[in-house]
Amino acid sequence: MRLADGRAGAPSRRGGAGPSDHKAVTIAGRTVMVPVHTAASFESPYAAGRPNAAGVSVIERDGAVVGQMTFPRQPRFYALQTFDGIPYAKIAVLHGRDVLATTVLQNCIRYQSRTKTCQFCAIGQSLAAGRTIAHKTPEQLAEVARAAVLLDGVSHMVMTTGTPNATDRGAAVLCDSAFAVKASVDLAIQVQCEPPDSDRWFERMRASGIDSLGMHIEAVTPAVRERIMPGKATVPLERYMKAFEVAVPVFGRGQVSTYILAGLGDSAEAILAMAAEVIARGVYPFVVPFVPISGTPMEDHPAPTPGFMHEVLQPLAVMLRAAGLSGAASKAGCAKCGACSALSTYEATVDAPRLPPALPRVPWRPAMPDLVLEGSPLGHLAR
């Protein structure tokens, strides 16, 4: 989307880990992250005008008005700085409407060389631009989280990290960080890392106060994984599956999730087959459209079309419904926030047809119990 006023609302996100180069906007009561800094967004047929005095911005498509939106306001905690002089916004930022998000370690062993780095990742860009710091200490995170809860009402927190080593793969630093935040303020926390080398980390993470865990497959086909994320692909999919099987009993069904980026080269069938694999293990597959981030090797890679996303998200929502999983049931994190994907909207529409069409609320009982049920396997219900 093109914006007439890029300064409206909360600051947009550029670089960093995960989806980026986008801005939070609220349309029809739903806050979504819309790419505004990518090359494709500059060509978008959608344009948002300057917000009026009420903060409402008109959306046009090829010059015709198609809707309106508002921007989440600038968080109050952004005005503060830590006791050691670091602006809070360099420690953690507001995502979506009410999520506090941070990248605990802004470095990654996979980012040192372009032969190993995930081709879509911009984790080093925000650090190089001075918008963040390399390592957020547990004390800093606890201080910012407390302020964000008290001043801005954030309701859950996402902590991701670059991968610091090939052993715990970030689990240790996430445990320390979550423990400090939980000691400071009552806030549901999701952490995100590669599967650690030992399954004992899952119990430690839970004991540290972590509520939900994301271990992100990103791409599902081995050839695509090796091409797009050559370093990360050295952790085989079998390790992810084993980690899911151990982590789900620790965190609970639906509290372990995995990001799958649609548009990297995997077919819709391959994504849905992988989704079925993880759903069978009680894991929520958060399928998100790939956003080509400026400055990365994939900045000119096309984003997936709306048709492709529909081909994936529609059946996925049905699969999730059948398995009793939903993003809304997640305690914290990206699955709960949902702002980077339309999956939650599809989940809501799958629910709708199952509601009875305005039937009168009369308690159910058989019309003629003795005649209908006597002698049947359900006969005891009539007595």
Distance CA 52, CA 1 (A): 18
As measured in angstroms, the least distance from the Cβ of 71 to ligand SF4 is: 14
Classify strands 64-70 and 56-61 as parallel, antiparallel or unpaired. Answer: antiparallel
As measured in angstroms, the least distance from the Cβ of 165 to ligand SF4 is: 24
C-alpha closest to that of 35 among 2, 62, 8, 57: 2
Q: Which stretch binds ligand SF4 (CB under 6 A): 2-10, 91-99, 198-206, 343-351?
A: 91-99
CA dihedral 272, 274, 275, 276 (to 10 degrees): 90
Q: Which stretch binds ligand SF4 (CB under 6 A): 84-92, 118-126, 169-177, 335-343?
A: 335-343
Asked if residues 333 and 214 have their Cβ atoms less than 8 Å apart, the reply is yes
C-alpha closest to that of 190 among 54, 95, 81, 89: 95
Q: Tokens standing for 124?
A: 């080093």
The single residue among 69, 94, 99, 159 that binds ligand SF4, judged by CB under 6 A, is 99
340 binds ligand SF4 (CB under 6 A): yes
* Binding track over 158-197 against ligand SF4, x by CB under 6 A: x---------------------------------------
Nearer to ligand SF4, 98 or 266 (CB): 98
Cβ-count burial of 362 within 10 angstroms (0-12 exposed, 13-18 middle, 19+ buried)?
exposed
89 binds ligand SF4 (CB under 6 A): no
Q: Which stretch binds ligand SF4 (CB under 6 A): 62-70, 81-89, 94-102, 145-153?
A: 94-102
Task: Give residue 70's region: left, alpha or beta (phi > 0; psi -120 to 50).
Answer: beta
Q: Which residues share a beta bridge with 218?
A: 260
As measured in angstroms, the least distance from the Cβ of 154 to ligand SF4 is: 11
Nearer to ligand SF4, 285 or 338 (CB): 338
Interface of this chain with ligand SF4, residues 9 to 28, rule: CB under 6 A: 18-19
User: Contact positions toward ligand SF4, by CB under 6 A?
Assistant: 18-19, 33, 95-96, 99, 101, 158, 334, 337-340
